[in-house]
Structure 1
């Protein structure tokens, strides 16, 4: 558990950064920096595309760091994590009013790319720290617990500061800059208390004992060959059937959360007629998921991802209906009754939403197990890179789209009220998109069969083949599981003549 806490501290930054970005950045820029909602959302969306491109680069670069002496000495994951610590502090520049539009664009892009560098390395650690299913679940559970703590503490403290000091730029700066400093410390702590695979364990044993850079990187022609190889490597991840389904669920869930996070405070202010401090109080209801996190882990171990996904998505649909009822009853129910109804709805919805955030990271460490029997290598960062790239591209598109729709509807964040058209646009984007994605994800997850049993079968088969076992001796059940999870004929897995 001590090791799991050390690992989980990394997501104090990962989750906290997303909460800070999604909840307060657009609000701060539109109220205190002179940006329109379209401009603010366009910066957030453009930065997402930049992050997507950087994800591809750092995903490949992270997996290939063993080709460099620094990577073999300090570790390919930990070298990138250590570099993140000072770069996080650039996030302070986001909270300075009065700068030109391009300055916010550059500062936010650097902030987002820094987060991508960290996530590329960090997301690869669970599959390298242990190959035990329950051990990985413990890492994911602790990570989710600390992420929820971060995502809860930020709006809770932010709401307290806003309530005490009022809606001033300095109020936002106090908690935003304070959390940015805490993020840097959390990443440093995670760097000190985690470990990763050696080159030999990761399938790069032929590089051990070498000094300097591997020759593959020292000749221009070989570098071009490497770039072509990188493109093929990313494309090859999509051959894995389990990864395609996981990726579709992950991207849809994350974009739904992006839209929800980017519009919730505006929804509370303009649809419910409450203050941003009240919105922060509702966001702090995510604290309910802290005691539920061990229950999520138990469900993942006992029920498996497919059944737990079904429960989660059904709960989220009920939560969307509840939030819609809160909006429709605002001003019609007695104040105390409506407040209790609203807080109960927020607690229920955020409990289900937290499970949405938990599930993909409970499943992702299993994906490299499926890939290893196909490629004979551990390519965690490559999978993390393509996943982050596509996630950021989707986030960029949806963020820009939200800004355009809100601008078209007549929304203006500098005014104290919004027209009915803007209220309908806010509700449609926040609740309608979330509900639609839950329905699609529920359908995809119905055929997702990667769980503790099937992961154990595929890892045992990988170990048997690695020990020199014959592919001809595979059992019918194992063959069926391998073909289902990989999406490939068994004859195409565990290729010969691969350097390990």
Structure 2
């Protein structure tokens, strides 16, 4: 294996942090709008049944889940092309997607057919993936040390929560302007967010960077030919799913999915719960969601400090418990007769928001170190592969979660377009909100008990990588050996390319 030169990192300035973070207005903002409002839009304003809305969501996410790993793999190898050398192997995708981002707005045109909504949703998901997959690699490209990467993740999630606040409150403001029964509420929201997406993607492109082509090329084993399109396709899924052989990444995925799928289930059911169980309105649901996102914003700032100073796994556990307390309290209050307008509702909203904010931040903070763990196993940098797998798994599970909510609601007697629902349908919505959310959270907590990546262990990992890059073949200290073997899941003698994972071509 070639010994890669240890390059001096470029200084990361405030504008670089802001540019990187701002793009999660697209990443999290669009998902906040979709998870909070697309089901209610399709069923209450477009005449679709709950199962049809869920099917659209599932088909779009499955197709996107197939495309996302392809984009990740291509971005890992695009530095060998003229386009990649001119615009960046990651950043080219971001630049090319900017004029396509208004595809988000056309999703929200009321009165169209099932096929219209399916095609427009799929189109946006593909554009979204073309931006987000390369974007998710840039923190690992631009920063090396633990604190820099944690700051990238923190700024990103702060922007994400700010966009989620807007996604929560914007429908309420538009309803007050357009009237409560106007479907144009969602169209105008789509237009406004599309403009924001284009601005932030441009900002990101202008103030971000990647590893130089020479540094990337130095990590390719001697004798490896430049990858062709054919070889990329042949090795695609073997390369991508080799990431599952990295122990820290497997555990990270479990925590990530536990935190995010629990929120998918909650978001898909929450608006229906407010409208039909709490006897509120879309405007009330908008207010509650917006307030929850404000609390999440505060929680992210707390979580940044906790994750920098303590174990991310411990912070994750506290966050999951807080979210669960909020969900349980909400259901107990509803069962006790609390309804829309009661001030007591703010109690579960605060608990849920505190937990959700930290759950949003922690997985993305730890994700930025996964390529480091992989590097000591393979001797290569495969940020794109990890980003592709993250999105692939996330989209498949999110599709299953939301489609499951829609299917269960239909099975429970939910009637699309109805002003009221039967007691059976309402209890089904409440059961999905409670049981579905808490079961997934519990699974995430179980996984977090085995996750040991922290600032201290990451420092040891990076010191070992630098030592191996410098050609030092002496034995590691017992402490370094134990830490690296725990994070990687491999014996020390098998690291730095001496394993089957490293033999998978890029």
Alignment TM-score > 0.5, same fold: yes
* Residue from 89, 94, 107 that aligns with 2:102: 89
Distance 1:226 1:165 in 2: 50
What is the CA-CA distance between 1:119 and the residue it aligns to? 1.2
SS across alignment from 1:200: helix
Query: Which ranges of 4 or more aligned residues in structure 1 deviate by more than 6 Å?
Result: 496-500
Aligned ranges 1:190-201 → 2 under 5 Å: 190-201=204-215
What is the CA-CA distance between 1:202 and the residue it aligns to? 3.1
CA contact (8 A) 1:89 1:180 kept: yes
Q: Match of 1:292? A: 299
What is the CA-CA distance between 1:294 and the residue it aligns to? 2.5
- The 1:330–1:367 alpha-carbon spacing in structure 2 relative to 1, beyond 3 Å, is same
Q: Match of 2:232? A: 226
Q: Does 1:355 align with 2:348?
A: no
Q: Match of 2:492? A: 490
Distance 2:332 2:191 in 1: 36
Q: Match of 1:463? A: 466
SS across alignment from 1:148: helix
* Residue from 129, 135, 148 that aligns with 1:135: 148
Any stretches of 5+ residues in structure 2 without a counterpart? 1-13
What is the CA-CA distance between 1:204 and the residue it aligns to? 4.8
Distance 2:433 2:192 in 1: 29
Distance 2:441 2:35 in 1: 20
Aligned ranges 1:165-244 → 2 under 5 Å: 165-166=178-179, 167-204=181-218, 216-217=227-228, 223-244=229-250
What is the CA-CA distance between 1:230 and the residue it aligns to? 2.1
Aligned ranges 1:41-440 → 2 under 5 Å: 41-166=54-179, 167-204=181-218, 216-217=227-228, 223-285=229-291, 286-331=293-338, 339-440=342-443
What is the CA-CA distance between 1:22 and the residue it aligns to? 1.0
Distance 2:230 2:338 in 1: 64
Q: Match of 1:478? A: 480
CA contact (8 A) 1:255 1:398 kept: yes
CA contact (8 A) 2:25 2:159 kept: yes
Distance 1:22 1:276 in 2: 14
What is the CA-CA distance between 1:92 and the residue it aligns to? 1.8
CA contact (8 A) 2:296 2:354 kept: yes
Q: Give the TM-score, by structure 1 length.
A: 0.93
CA contact (8 A) 1:370 1:485 kept: yes
CA contact (8 A) 2:264 2:402 kept: yes
Distance 1:477 1:182 in 2: 48
Distance 2:227 2:26 in 1: 35
275-284 or 178-187: bigger deviation? 178-187
- The 1:188–1:75 alpha-carbon spacing in structure 2 relative to 1, beyond 3 Å, is same
Q: What do residues 186-205 of structure 1 show as CA deviations (whole Å, max 9, x unaligned)?
A: 11111112111112333556
CA contact (8 A) 2:258 2:442 kept: no
CA contact (8 A) 1:51 1:109 kept: yes
CA contact (8 A) 2:109 2:184 kept: no
CA contact (8 A) 2:319 2:354 kept: no
CA contact (8 A) 1:270 1:418 kept: yes
